[in-house]
């Protein structure tokens, strides 16, 4: 995702990419067809004494809107927290390098330490996207380290341990006093907090029943809505029914997308761009010669 160039309010109504509309078109179409069927069937089932009115749907609509609002809030909070954790990774990475560089300005292993830092960001990204990370990490780790990292239950945590050991060696050699060692260690702890925070969001979705109850009530509500609207609106039923269904179903669907912010769908976090930015920033801080290219948004202004 990325900031789109500001649009006039009118053309924006017709944007297709990045909205959830493509995902739910078929459901809205079914709602439209159902509404037409309801109009045609109206005389028949009215003759059976069956009728629905809008009033009870008003109660139900408000209740669902309130609960859906709370759930959307909860899902958005996950998305927000995930973004904030990656922001904290940026903070910790920069501060860690700044502190190491200013206290050990002449250390020859500094370049190796930066490789570990960059590897941490990429390893976390690949883990959260359920992708194999061997190829990516091979660029940054020694074969032996790579072997240990890939075999670990949590690869990124193993990289943290490698960074801790790098610092521990400097302390054992007397290059780092205990004060500086424990102060720099605090940054590793911050990165550990980012790691566990992401793992938490990744492994613990919203309570399943929470999503399910709302999913069910939203769909039942939308399915029964045409029956209630048809008495008053007749030929206008399909249009109003689809409009109301769009409001509810699109927010239900968006909530689902936001619930897992680490995916690669339109509204997910651009982890590729963020970890690339961390890499560029760290390398620039030691005036490295070769930098990866800064990622630029593709068509539809989308970053991955």
**Residues of this chain, 232-251, that bind a second copy according to CB under 8 A:** 232-236, 240, 243-244, 246-248, 250-251
- The reply to whether 180 sits near a second copy by the rule CB under 8 A is yes
Q: Within a 13 Å sphere around the CA of 51, how many CA atoms are in the beta-carbon half?
A: 9
CA pair distance 269, 83, nearest whole angstrom: 7
Please give the residues from 214 up to 233 whose contact with a second copy meets the rule CB under 8 A.
215-217, 219-221, 224, 229, 232-233
CA pair distance 240, 229, nearest whole angstrom: 8
Q: Which residues contact 63 (CB under 8 A, 6 or more apart)?
A: none
Matching residue, tokens 């780092």: 176
CB-wise, 32 or 219, nearer to a second copy? 219
Q: Which helix (H) or strand (E) holds 6?
A: none
Matching residue, tokens 């102060």: 183
Matching residue, tokens 């960001």: 121
Instruction: Calculate the alpha carbon distances from 275 to 40, 142, 194, 229 in Å.
Output: 56, 20, 13, 50
Phi, psi of 167 (to 5 degrees): -70, -40
**Under rule CB under 8 A, how many of the chain's residues touch a second copy?**
127
- The reply to whether 19 sits near a second copy by the rule CB under 8 A is yes
- The reply to whether 44 sits near a second copy by the rule CB under 8 A is no
Question: Judged by CB under 8 A, which of 185, 272, 295, 304 binds a second copy?
Answer: 185
- Kindly indicate which of the ranges 108-116, 118-126, 132-140, 161-169 contains the residues binding a second copy, using the contact rule CB under 8 A: 161-169
CB-wise, 217 or 304, nearer to a second copy? 217
Residue 262 near residue 94, CB atoms below 8 Å: no
- The reply to whether 58 sits near a second copy by the rule CB under 8 A is yes
Question: Judged by CB under 8 A, which of 167, 222, 238, 275 binds a second copy?
Answer: 167
- The reply to whether 304 sits near a second copy by the rule CB under 8 A is no
Question: Judged by CB under 8 A, which of 189, 264, 288, 298 binds a second copy?
Answer: 189
- The reply to whether 142 sits near a second copy by the rule CB under 8 A is no
Binding marks (x or -) toward a second copy, 110..129, rule CB under 8 A?
A: --------------------
CA pair distance 289, 125, nearest whole angstrom: 25
- Kindly indicate which of the ranges 107-115, 117-125, 138-146, 280-288 contains the residues binding a second copy, using the contact rule CB under 8 A: 280-288
- The reply to whether 20 sits near a second copy by the rule CB under 8 A is yes
CB count in 10 Å sphere of residue 160: 18
Please give the residues from 68 up to 87 whose contact with a second copy meets the rule CB under 8 A.
68-70, 72-74, 76, 79, 83-84, 87
Residue 22 near residue 257, CB atoms below 8 Å: no
- The reply to whether 294 sits near a second copy by the rule CB under 8 A is yes
The two structure tokens encoding residue 49: 């004494």
- The reply to whether 264 sits near a second copy by the rule CB under 8 A is no
- The reply to whether 208 sits near a second copy by the rule CB under 8 A is yes
CB of 8 vs a second copy, minimal distance in Å = 11
* Residues 34-63 as b or e (16 or more Cβ within 10 Å = b): bbeebbeebeeeeeeeeebeeeebeebbee
Question: Judged by CB under 8 A, which of 107, 257, 272, 295 binds a second copy?
Answer: 257
Identify the burial level of 284 via C-beta atoms within 10 angstroms of its C-beta, where 0-12 means exposed, 13-18 middle and 19 or more buried. Answer: exposed
CB of 140 vs a second copy, minimal distance in Å = 19
Question: Judged by CB under 8 A, which of 111, 131, 147, 200 binds a second copy?
Answer: 200
- The reply to whether 179 sits near a second copy by the rule CB under 8 A is yes
């Amino acid at each position: 995702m990325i900031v789109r160039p500001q649009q006039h309010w009118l053309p924006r109504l017709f944007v297709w990419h990045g909205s959830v509309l493509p995902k739910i078109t078929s459901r809205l179409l079914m709602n439209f067809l159902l509404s037409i069927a309801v109009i045609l069937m109206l005389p028949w089932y009215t003759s059976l004494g069956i009728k629905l009115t809008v009033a009870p749907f008003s109660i139900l609509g408000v209740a669902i809107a309130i609960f859906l609002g709370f759930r959307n809030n909860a899902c958005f909070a996950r998305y927000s927290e995930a973004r904030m954790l990656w922001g904290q990774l940026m903070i910790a990475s920069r501060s860690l390098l700044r502190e190491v560089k200013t206290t050990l300005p002449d250390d020859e292993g500094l370049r190796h330490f930066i490789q570990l830092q960059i590897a941490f960001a990429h390893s976390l990204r690949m883990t959260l996207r359920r992708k194999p990370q061997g190829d990516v990490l091979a660029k940054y780790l020694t074969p032996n380290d790579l072997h240990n990292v890939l075999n670990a239950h949590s690869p990124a945590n193993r990289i943290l341990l490698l960074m801790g050991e790098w610092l521990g060696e400097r302390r054992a050699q007397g290059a780092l006093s205990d004060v500086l060692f424990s102060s720099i260690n605090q940054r590793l702890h911050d990165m550990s907090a980012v790691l566990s925070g992401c793992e938490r969001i990744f492994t613990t979705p919203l309570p399943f029943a929470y999503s399910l109850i709302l999913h069910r009530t939203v769909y039942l509500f939308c399915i029964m809505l045409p029956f209630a609207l048809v008495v008053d609106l007749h030929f206008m039923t399909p249009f109003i029914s689809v409009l109301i269904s769009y409001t509810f179903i699109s927010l239900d669907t968006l909530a689902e997308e936001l619930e897992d912010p680490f995916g690669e769908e339109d509204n997910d976090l651009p982890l590729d761009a963020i970890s690339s930015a961390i890499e560029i920033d760290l390398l620039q801080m030691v005036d490295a010669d070769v930098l990866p290219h800064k990622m630029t948004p593709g068509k539809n202004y989308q970053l991955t």
